[in-house]
Every structure is written in C-alpha cells, then in structure tokens.
Amino acid sequence: MTYLLTRFLPLAGLGLLLSSAAHAQQYQPTATGLRVSTDSLTVEVQFYSPEIVRVLKQPRAKETAKKSLVVVQAPAPGKLKYSAKNGQVTISSPTTQVVVNEKTGQVSFRTAQGQPLLSEQALGSRFTAKKDLNTATYRVRQLFQLAPGEAVYGLGQHQDGHLNYRGQEVLLKQKNLDIALPVLHSSRGYGVLWDNYSTTKFTDAAAGTVFDSEIGDCVDYYLLNGQGTADGVVARYRQLTGQAPMFPRWTLGFWQSKERYRSQNETVGVVEKYRALGVPLDGIVQDWQYWGEDNDLWNDMAFNNPGFPNPQAMLDRVHALHAHQMISIWPSFGRKSKPYQELASKDMLFDFITWPRTPHVKVYDAFDPAARDIYWKYLNQGIFKLGMDAWWMDATEPDQLQPFDTDDDNETALGSFRKMRNAYPLVTTGGVYEHQRQATSDKRVFILTRSAFAGQQRNGTMTWSGDVDSRWDVLAKQIPAALSLSMAGLPYWNCDIGGFFPNGQYPKGVKDPAFQELFTRWQQFAAFTPMMRAHGEGTPREIYQFGERGSWAFDAQAKYIDLRYRLLPYLYSNMWSVTSRAGTLLRALPMDFPQDAKVADLSTEYLFGPAFLVRPVTEAQYVNRPDKNVPVPADFSQTKNVEVYLPTGASWVDFWTGKRQAGGQTVRRETPIDVLPLYVRAGSVLPLGPRQQYTGEKDGAPLEIRVYPGANGEFTLYEDENDNYNYEKGAFATIRLRWNDKARQLTFYNRAGSFTGMQQARTFRVILVDEQHGTGVGADDAPAKEVKYAGKQTSVKL
C-alpha cells in the first residue's frame, strides 16, 4: 500500500513514488475490504468471512445505506492482503482472491491458488434512472461471464423441468407454483446471492449471464466460495443467511389433508379411522373456512364455523390419539374480521385483489413489524393457545389476482411493493417464527408455506410446490423443482401427493384406477422427500378411499407409509445434519458426483440423504385410459420397467433385492406397482426403526442397523427430546457408527452428549445386506447380530 508509505520516506525518494501513489489512491482499504471510486461508480468489496465476499456498487451521485433483510451475518474479514498492479487491485483472504479494475470497477474472483471462479463483464454494472413512488431510484443490472461447460443450478422453484439453467431465462417473481430465490449455484464450486427484492430476470445467453432487477438503489451481491464442493456452497449460504432449526420429530411421519374437512368431527374422524385400520399417521391438517363461509370473515383466526363448536376438544382428541394438528392461515383478512379492523385502522393493509376474488379481503403489510405483532396477537389468542401444533401459511407470495403492474404501487413500511415484493414470504413467516419462539421454547416451530425467499430456512419453514395439477408430466417436473430449491440453499420441500387439481384429468377422482396409479406413484416419491403429505381438492385422499386392505392401491400405499416410519432414525439424524452441518437432504446428483458428466443435467433421479438413490416412476404403466370419462381397470399382466442411471464413483445395492451393481451404467429396473426403483450406496450404514403407528410409539424397541458392504462408510445417529429447543443448549446425544469394509467390522463409538429421558442402554440388530437377506421394508427373519450398547465403544464382526 505505497500511498500510505510516502509520508515516511525522505524527500529524495518521494519523486520515485509519485506515479504509483497517485495510482494507488484510486482505492482505499477499509475495515472489511476495500473501496474503489471510478469516474461514475463507487465499488465496495466486503469480506464476511474468508469465503464470503460482498460486492456493493452504487452511482457516485447517489450513494445510500442498505440494510439487508436476507443477511444475518456481520462482516468478519479476518486477515487480508492487498496488492496493486497494472490498474488492478487484488484483495486476498486465505481462500479467496478478489480483483477490481480501478478504472471500470469490474470485479472478478479467484481461488487462493489463482484459479478463476467468476468474473463480471467489463462495464457490466448498469444503472437506469427511474421513479418509484416519486422517489428517484434505478433499474439495476449486473452482467457476468460464465465459463464454457459450466453448469448453474438453483434460482428457487420453477415448474419448467430444468435442472441446469445454462442457456435459460427465468423470471424471479413470486407466484403460486414459482418461488423466486435469487441464489445461483455453479458446478465450479461457488454460488452467488443476488440481494434484491424486486422482480428480477435471470438470463444466460451467448452475450453473458445477467441479473436484471426492476428496482434497486445499488448492485448488491455475495460471492460464496464453496472451495470446490456443492456442500461448501450451501454451507456458505446458510452461514450468511441463517441456519435451519430442527423441526419436531413427529413432522417426519405421514400427514393427511384435503380441501377441506368441514367439521371437527370429520377432522377427528380421519385420525380415528387411521388408528382403527392400523395405518400410521402423525399429522392431520385443517384447511380453510373453519372461520366460517362468509368471506367477510376470511382468516378471522377464530373457529366461527358452527361445524367447530369446541376446537379445544378437537385438539385434545387429536392429541389423545397421538397425532398432531396443523391449521391453515393466510396473509389476508376479510373486512369483518377482527385482525382486518385493527390493521385497517392503522393503514397496514394493501389495496389489491387477492384470493378469494373480492375487494373486501386484503393482504397485510408484513414488512411492518407492528403489523406482524398484530398478526401474532390474533393467531395466539384464537388458535395457538388451544395447543395448535403447526401452521400452514398459505399464499405467502402473496396471491394477487389483478395485473401485477397495478399492485406494485402499494406502499409498504420499507418502500413500494414493487421494490420489496419477492421478500414478502421471508418477513411474514419470520413474524410467526419469531413470535412463537418468544412465546415458548417447549414447542418447535413448524411452518408449511407456499412461497419462500433467501434466508427463509431460518424461520422453521417447509416449502411446498403449490397448487399443481394431477398429471404425470407435472409429477416429473416436481423432481428438478425440488432439487433446484435445495441447491439454492433451502433444505425442506414437499408437494401435494397426487397433485392438487385432479378434476380436469380425472373427473371420477379416487374411483378412477388411472388416478389411483398416479397417486400411488406420487406417494412413493413423497416418501423420499422431507414431508410425506397427501392433499388436494375435488376428491378425497385418505388411504381407505382407495379400497380395502388387500387391494393393490391400498396395499402399495400402506407399504410406503410403513417404510417411511422405519426410516425415521435415518431421517431425524439427517435433519440434525441439516441444522448442525448445513446439510442437504434432497441432493441433485451433481452435488455428489461432479466428475460424472452424465448427471450434470439429470433430473429424473436424486439422492435422499447420503445413502439412497431414488428414481421415481413418472409415467403411467398399468392403466391405459383412452377416454378420461370412462375409467378402466389396471392391467398387471405384464411387469413394466424404467431406466435408472447408477452414477460412477460408487457401487449400488438394490434396496429390494440386495443385488449390487457397479456405477457408471444405465440399468433397466422392473417396476411393479408397489416398487419404486431404490438403490443404496455401497458403504452405507442405515439405521431403521420398528413398525409403529405414530412417531415415538416404540422408542424403546431395538433399532436395526443395515450395513451395505462394498466400501467403507459411517453414519452418526442423532437423538434428543424431539419437540423443544433444549438441543440448542446441548441436550442431545450422538452415536458414531463406522464400517470397515476390509475388516468386515462395524464399530459403535462412545456416545457423545446426553439429554433428559435418554436410553442409557439399548439393543441394535446388525444385518449385513446381501441378495438373500436384509432387503426391502422388513428383515425380521434375516440373520442379525445383536449388540448390547451402553454408551461405550463396541465392535461387531459381520
């Protein structure tokens, strides 16, 4: 930094440094990075960690301070080094180099070894002056140059079937079915968070890659250096925007819902029917109009409907049946509701048409913290104090039914709706999460929501894919939609089993074998997503509507509900990995096999946690129905099959047969109606729980530990108190299990940690999987070695 040294040099040497000193004054080191002033721009580079770098660009004529709604981490630069040469200034952390052109403000990023990560285009920052609610601002664009062959993922959830977004154009604007999440994830091991809340167009074309936002006082983005790994990118994103808290363990069980249960007797009756049938169930959902059928009372947050005369008794009965209840809430209110009247009196309602289509239902301004306080006040008084377990926050986009350009002039507490719109789901879910956390630490927050934004994982949210149609092509598109959201950093996603709208395709609904086949295959997919939840309108979705035990649709569905419950130890341990290690449960194959070119844009299969390769069946195979109005029976006379690609770099064991196959090949897998192609990575250590009717029913039962030989492997089993926040204070325990393939030995290491109610001693049944034993849903007759474990290291030879 020669410009700082000149004042200490003798006059004789000063002339030698004048030119370099004058050059160096183009940039200034700051506490977190550096600041460069060009003829027209101010460019700031701020290190939030050695791997996270913020770039902030503003026209020199209009510099403003910006507080991010998304970022929760404070800058922590660590040790930085500066150098300047040939009009370029370089600032380096131990892992990341940032190079700024002092004349143009162009920024590029490299690894510590100087390998290119990402570069802006020269003169790629563009500001177009405009007015927003009579305030001077800009349309902002930033152009980047990606590398040839580079794949890019993320950007939220879009129902377009794409996984790799090279060569694509995506409109980032919240609406039902589409989730705008301005996070780009590159196959080169870095990510970009574009911190802007207005409608934004992402385009990748020959001319370059651009984020183009309708409103912005500045260009503001973060480079996330994952140091070459996809998990590293996600970890940096969560470090910057907030970690995902633990959900209650019971949320991993099976959920039943429909549009809608019309009385408390019907709601409770569904739970009672499941218990009588012996089909597991943990969650029941009460959808809309429990407040009454008058839209002027829309979302009154009270049980005004005469079909719900005693909501406390309803919840008490559901809890007595060892189930939990979720209820639908909205960001909008009818004019006769108490929340509407208070919010209207304080000018906290927007003036646009939402659903239901009436001018008397209005959306509240969730950007105003005082409005969020009011929202929770009524939610707490009318519902939460009854003991409600979870929230279905519907239409958090929020839903808008008139042309968008007329909505945008609404004024929020933080500026125009045009400027803030995409962040609405973040602030409205955040209001409920923060208030419930303040109310109690005994019940974990669980929010199911239709929309999301960057940072929302910290609000205890599970996103669902919206009101999708009941079609095979829609089912197929759920897979890349889910994987894109996961690679953008949000770990929890699910969808309506069977699709929300069946009537156009299946007017006979659940009585149509064609719908039964679609629903059954969709449910198999859902068993390997973070939430397994049946829901939809137009036809009932309860398992007993599909026939009796012994019928193909009932039995195939029951099989996967049972399997879901056996997977609970695996699922809950993976949930802990999400919370403690910024893990990802729904894993696009490029995350784990970046060197396998065949998976770069493979959207038909995925990993579910570290062990499972899942290939959902997304086409009709057994019901050929030429006329949708004339149902025909299923024809199982010939067993169908699908192609499955087994990624290179691992060998794979068929979950149902135990057969092991090498990676790097495409195989044909037979698909009877009750078989989802499912493979386990060799080396996996898989914990399975007992069959049970609800989560926690048999916590004292032995756990089955399956070992899939062919490689070394390990798994960390996690346990805690299941539905409070004591884990944040260290009240949990882990057991590390490690398989040594050469020695054929499984080691249970010393238990780490403890919690109230922990089993001090337990039994494990250890099974070595082969083609004769230890496969499928159950392995009760498989040869197993019984291990008595009391918290101290022990090993077993297989």
With both helix axes pointing from N to C terminus, report the angle between 369-382 and 424-439 in degrees, rounded to the nearest 10.
Answer: 50
Instruction: Please state whether beta strands 678-681 and 745-748 pair in parallel, antiparallel, or not at all (unpaired).
Output: unpaired
Q: For residue 366, which amino acid is it?
A: A
Please state, in angstroms and rounded to a whole number, the distance separating the CA atoms of residues 622 and 625. 10
Phi, psi of 426 (to 5 degrees): -65, -45
Residue 507 is classified by DSSP as: T
Extract the tokens encoding 365.
């301004």
- Bridge-based pairing state of the strands 361-363 and 219-225: unpaired
Marked catalytic residue, from 51, 178, 214, 397: 397
- Of the chain, the end-to-end C-alpha distance in Å amounts to 64
Q: Which of 192, 190, 183 is nearest to 225 (CA)?
A: 190
The residues, ordered by sequence, that sit 6+ positions from 129 with a Cβ below 8 Å of its Cβ are 136, 137, 138
Give residue 125's identity as a one-letter amino acid code. S
Reference 798, options 737, 750, 752, 751; nearest CA is 737
Q: Could you confirm whether 467 is annotated as catalytic?
A: yes
Dihedral of CA atoms 39, 42, 47, 52 in degrees, nearest 10, equals -90
Helix axes 513-526 and 472-487, enclosed angle (nearest 10): 10
Nearest 5°: phi and psi at 40? -125, -15
How far apart (Å, rounded) are the C-alpha atoms in residues 644 and 636? 21
Which SS3 state, helix, strand or coil, does residue 244 take? coil
Is 394 annotated in the active site?
yes
Calpha distance 503→505 (Å, rounded): 6
Among 365, 467, 542, 596, the one annotated catalytic: 467
Region at 455 (left for phi over 0; alpha for psi -120 to 50; beta for the rest):
left
C-alpha dihedral sign at 591, 594, 596, 601: positive
Place of tokens 């008139």: 402
Specify whether the CB–CB gap between 536 and 470 falls below 8 A. yes
The residues carrying an active-site annotation are 394, 397, 467
